[in-house]
Amino acid sequence: MEHIPFARSIDLPPYRAILAVDAKGFTAEPGSTHEAISKSLLDLVGDALTGAGLRVEWERPAFLGPTGDGFAVGLPTRVLPYLVDPFPRLLQERLAEHNRQARARLQLRVSLHVGPLPADPENPHWTGNGDSRNETHRLLDSAPVKAVLAAASPRVTFVACIFSDRVFEDVIAAGYAGMQPDRCLPVTATVDGKAFSRQAWLYLPEVSGNLLGILPGEPEPLPIAGKPVMPRISGPRVKRNAGQVATTVESMTQHRGGGR
């Protein structure tokens, strides 16, 4: 029977960890290279996930949907701490190794979210659709994560992560991940042309370029694109220099269009 929203109750799908990855500058590369780059992304992310002890989950995901310049994958919620740490660090290391030998350096944006989504592991490419997955892609396309990657050195920083507030509160601030909350910076994630605005958290496993001396550190609520973030009572304490991050992020967003 076709489901009509709000007409009757149905089962809530299981919660999934949703990991999305996107390559900066993908569309600027010649079309003849896109297929090879897309395969490289899967291989590189797979290597990092395997290094984080998630080979079994990667080989049988709840869903896996390519997007051309990236993909989204659904994994069990119990592995969220390992997707926070050590996965980003391992991905940074794997990309550094890859980029030493590659014609064009890859820089990746990574978003991590959690929410209820249907899934069929037997047909992973045709399932896993819903609001939580849409929000994961919006975070991936948001101005702050594009801006910090644009501000970083393309020769040093190869990964920029953005975590949803739900992931930050339930996994990082709660102490389940091997990462201090102060390694993350609170931002308001917005996407040009979209009615989307969410509290989120930036994390760079390797800081460089215009962000040296600013990230990492104790995060401070800061405005992005004119949208202030209210101070958090339960979150990490603030630092005065986070205003510099606001200036850097907002400036890069305005002048480079977020750094696709």
pLDDT tens digits along 81-93? 999 999 999 999 9
pLDDT reading at 20 higher than 80:
yes
Of 197, 121, 187, 124, the closest CA to residue 160 belongs to 187
Q: Please report whether residue 4 resides in a domain.
A: no
Q: Please report whether residue 93 resides in a domain.
A: yes
Q: Please report whether residue 144 resides in a domain.
A: yes
Q: Omega before 86 cis (within 30°)?
A: yes
Annotate 94-131 with b (16+ C-beta within 10 A) or e (fewer). bbbebbeeeeeebbbbbbbbbbebebeeeebeebbebe
* pLDDT category of residue 257 using cuts at 50, 70 and 90: very low
Question: Which pTM was predicted?
Answer: 0.82
CATH number of the domain enclosing 250 = 3.30.70.1230
Q: Please report whether residue 8 resides in a domain.
A: no
Q: Please report whether residue 119 resides in a domain.
A: yes
Q: Please report whether residue 52 resides in a domain.
A: yes
Mean pLDDT of the chain: 82
Number of domains in the chain: 1
Question: How does pLDDT run across 190-225, given as a tens digit for each residue?
Answer: 999 999 999 999 999 999 988 887 775 433 333 334
Domain carrying residue 175: 15-256
Q: Please report whether residue 30 resides in a domain.
A: yes
- Check residue 108 and give its pLDDT: 97
Q: Please report whether residue 6 resides in a domain.
A: no
- Check residue 21 and give its pLDDT: 97
Instruction: Specify the higher pLDDT residue, 105 or 144.
Output: 144
